[in-house]
Amino acid sequence: MTRITEFANPRMAQAFVDYMATRGVRLRIEHDDRYTLWLDDDSQLNLVENELGQFIREPNHPRYLAASWQSGTTTSGISYSGSSLMANIRERAGPLTLTVIAACFIVFILMQIVGDRTVMGWLSWPNADQHLQLWRWFSHALLHFSLVHILFNLLWWWYLGGAIEKRLGSGKLFVIMLISALLSGWMQAKFSGVMFGGLSGVVYALMGYAWLRGERDPASGIYLERGLMAFSLVWLVIGYMGWFNLSIANAAHVTGLLLGLAMAFVDTRKTR
């Protein structure tokens, strides 16, 4: 008997079990605080591990839904309890993820009350006379200039940052966040001056990290669907082409993306 993996989400656990049943493999689910999958027949281990890597990369692929309709039962033993929106947000996000979300909203509210320029005077990237104000090297990431801006960035931050924090720990997310905020901000300041802000440089680092980590180390549970990665690249092209008259921090995006890819590559050298 071999332990295969564990899921926090019961639906994902059941979807993989149902799919493997269509491949002639029987897996068992044990539920404690998480949902652990066990394989009784060790001769099927290689098949299960290969399929698991594909499932982690594309858990929403239609073949898994089809498998649940084909082989799923109503007697799995998993119960799905109702929960609030906030409970669902907290389930995916760790303390660092939630702290950054709260900080961004607090700063955004302050910007509506006292004005963008006033808050930027406190938190923006340092100019030539402010280099010793060390918080400025990172606090620019908390600045957002519209509701769409902050919602777009924080949804990505929650979706990717929360997953990384849950699977790899707050320390790993903290390192990615600090490095990408610092270097993406530095590069953006070279191109546009100090009057910029937003979490998007960090978000692009998370995109690059999650995608490459999923490609090279599927067992980590960290992934970004290839379609979403393609969307992020299209958004980069839109920014550089100047379509739709959007004000986009292109240098921060590209720098963040490259940093995320580099960190994922370093973290998966031994895995490969």
Strand, helix or coil for residue 5: strand
Question: 226-260 burial, b for 16+ CB within 10 Å, e for fewer?
Answer: eeebeebeebbeebeeeeeeeebbbbbbbbbbbbb
Query: Mind telling me the catalytic residues?
Result: 200, 253
CA–CA separation, 261 and 256 (whole Å)? 9
Instruction: Give the 3-state secondary structure of residue 39.
Output: strand
Kindly state the DSSP code that residue 179 receives in the 8-state scheme.
H
Distance, in Å, from the CA atom of 231 to the CA atom of 217, rounded to the nearest integer, reads: 22
Phi, psi of 269, rounded to the nearest 5 degrees: -60, -50
